[in-house]
Structure 1
Amino acid sequence: MLAADDDRHYRRLVTLRTISSLRRIGGNRQLATIDAWTVVVRTAREFKSGERVIFLEPDAFIPTGILDDQLCKDADMVPATFKGRRGYRAAHDKVEILPSRFLSEDNFFFSQGAILHLSDCPQILYKERSTRQKAKWDEQLPEYINFLQTYDIGRHLHVSKYTLEEPSGTRRNPKVPSFILKTEMERVQNCPNLFIKDKYKTMTFQETKKMDGAAMTVYFLRGDSRYWSTHGTIPLWADPELIRNCHFEMGRAGVCTRNLEILRSPDANKYLRSDPYFATAIRLGLPKILAQLAPCIDSIAIQGELVGSKINGNPHCYAKNSHHDFYIYSIFDIESGKRWDPRRTEDWVKTKPHLKHVPVLGYHTVRSIAKSHEELLTRAYLTHGEGLVFKCLVDGRWFKVLSERWFVERG
């Protein structure tokens, strides 16, 4: 993460932050700015500019019973059910306001997440005040700054990231293997150092278009892998078609969604070849391609975005029953857990004419194309698609810039 240089892999959905500005927008609502985030709040909640608050990022899910139901409703959190539990989700919404003297030409605003007073959570308020007291009420002391960066509020609130759950059937597929790297990345709003630290003046990033689909991974595990003892054998109950296509002399291949490894169709009445993930991997010959690389390199995995008529509501307007596309954006070494340099990945894909890489828009420093977070957000807004992804060529960090226009068009 660019937001916290010492913590690259853990994403905190709930943090303590400060309201930098607050302005009236009509309809008994105010627009609160928190770092690069904007949140529409109710005037009756009486937030103040400069106030330290609890900020919940979009899709932060809190089960019922943790906070008062009315408090969640007043914070404009959305009722939701996740993994069988009822609760509330911090939303990313377009809020329309009736025209008034407070507005100029726009009558809608984007609300990203939710905020709570510290007093709404007494335990967190006590922890914050006691830490500030130890720091002699100086919020610039390292002790207090470290507290803000590391205090895991989400654990106290039992927060998890709300995602659309994959359909379950009579056949259960296992969770994705532990050696598969997660594809989640920080939003640009959580990268405050981009326009502060000098090192970002010279760091080159690969800028790519963000496809609106579903994460997919195809991997090949060699027989000498340290993970072979736990993941090398294909279960006997797996679909015979998977065994035929993914078993090789030097190892085995596998196909995964974001959360599951596909061993058989979740629908007992369908064959595995009807699954868009597996069907696309086999049509493109990905298991065989990776197996051919096995004598030369360690166990390897390819990650990308699956796009098509059966994925995510078909936002890219594929014809019904047409082939799905797989846009590659990352390749990594399973044994070391390190991703290939983005340029190496792009060059490798170019050697396979039938494979596709996510559209590359260029290689440049962030500050050569924008002077602020707002300009990056505008850049994404003007680009047709879900947004932009930036991958650093120096340290491998990623961040995404989501398009508000795409959000409006997709509803």
Structure 2
Amino acid sequence: MSGRQKSYINIPTLWVLSVVAALAVAWSVMYIFTLPMGDDLIYTSILRRADGIGTGAYAVWEFPRYWARHWMYTNGRSANLFASLFMGILPHWMVSVMCGLAVGAMYLFVLYFCRLFPCKGRGVAATVVIAVIAFLFPWWDSFSLIDVNFNYVWATAMPLAVLVMLRHDGRGWLGRVGSISDRSGLITTACVAMFCLFAGMIHEAATLSLCAGIVWTAWMRGDISSGGWRRMSRQRRWMLVAFFAGAAVAALSPGIIMRAVGGSAPDDVWWMVVLKSAPITLILLFVMLMSLMSHNGRERLRRVMVSDRGMWVVSAIAGLAFVAVGGIVGRSGWFSQIFALIALWQWYDPVGRYRVSLVGGGLVALSLGLSAVVQMVEVDRYSYI
């Protein structure tokens, strides 16, 4: 028998995965039970009506013409591209399952960047982060619309997936990106670049904020002034160019520019919209302000801002501009708060500072995880009724 020990998944990781999987299933069920309404009804009718695919406002082969019109007069988000395409050609249950999987992916990516997944003894902290997102984020703002899932859940998961790929640049299959000397390398390169392009287009508030954070980090490292781009691997260059290009396509949509300039009447004055929509980001700003009050605090803040953690801080603050301009109380603060949550968790690292007893931590993880799942089960029951 070999002396090498087998590696088994630990119970906290298994618990966190179980909670995330249960939430993904519950969200899928909720969407299956919810009939299309509002924007969902509009996007569904682009390509289909009651008589089936191809009977909607546009024939299937005319979808590029519809999307060009949408980019010109509405916005350039690939979130709406996916919504109108998938809801127009796929059965409702399949789109619902895809959106449920996006919820699960979003949770896992946020945990990954909070350095809580894989858990390795950090299952309690991971469950706390899940509970913060499940209970304190603005799911209530049109949460039953699949279009909102595309515009906020997908728009969180896809850009974070790009950042994961950038972090693991050159390893495994991703090493094929940039190698176009054979067919498989060319296909891999094209697929990854296309994914990064659509991830960049997914929502301008998410990706432009992240682009600001990425540029800040590159500047702090000296990559911009010292030729870091040339030293960067071809894989990262392909992915970054596609991601930034996608963000530019979304942001330069005449439709979104006209909405930003003209816009509809805001829900409240801009500072009240920020206060109501991005409280976690305001907590981050308060922590930064308090850090400036002492020498040790300023030194710690400096270390944060010159490290990779500074990317999340800058992204969160940049996201506040979209909250103020958008004028919508609720979901407008989604991305800024996601980035602020990651920034605060990386900054303070509660796992490294505090220890909880096995029994106490187990009760916290059990109660928070079950509460999040039971809440969604109750939503499912309501939707079914």
Normalising by the smaller structure, the TM-score range is under 0.3
Bigger fraction of residues in strand: 1
Q: Specify the structure having the higher radius of gyration (Cα).
A: 1
Q: TM-score, normalised by structure 2?
A: 0.28
Greater helix percent: which structure? 2
